[in-house]
Amino acid sequence: MKYATLLAVGLATATLAPAMASAQNVVLQMGTTDRGPALVTGAGFSLYIFDKDGLAVSNCNGACAEKWPPLEASRRARPSGDFGIIIRADGSRQWAYKGQPLYTWINDSAPGQTTGDGVKGVWHLAR
């Protein structure tokens, strides 16, 4: 998989970086998926947004969050640029891109897969 941009969202800043960030950072990349460019995790797994979410509000909880794991933000993580942190209903912290909460999908078993894109017409690749 080729990556056009690597974003390391860490303790204080989001930076363009030529290599993987340290374990204390969440790594978000613009990656090439089987459906074209999209945001992916540092491991290359596709990230998704949910149409039923509000701006900076996650409406995917319980069984939904088991299938669509929220992209967790550590307590030390800080928002930067287009990358923010929302507080979920259970008090946990989740990364958001331009106010849209970010999720992975349990049925993507390899980097670059996009099996969650279009599920029930409400799940879409984060771009």
Tell me what pLDDT residue 10 has.
41
Give the tens place of pLDDT for each residue, 28-48.
Answer: 888 989 999 999 998 999 999
Strand order in the sheet with 3-9: 14-16, 3-9, 26-33, 36-41
Tell me what pLDDT residue 25 has.
57
What are the residue ranges in the chain where pLDDT is below 50?
Answer: 1-24
Q: List the domain boundaries for the chain.
A: 3-125
Tell me what pLDDT residue 2 has.
36
Kindly report whether the global pTM for this prediction surpasses the value 0.75.
Answer: yes
- Of 48, 45, 43, 40, which is closest to residue 5 (Cα–Cα)? 40
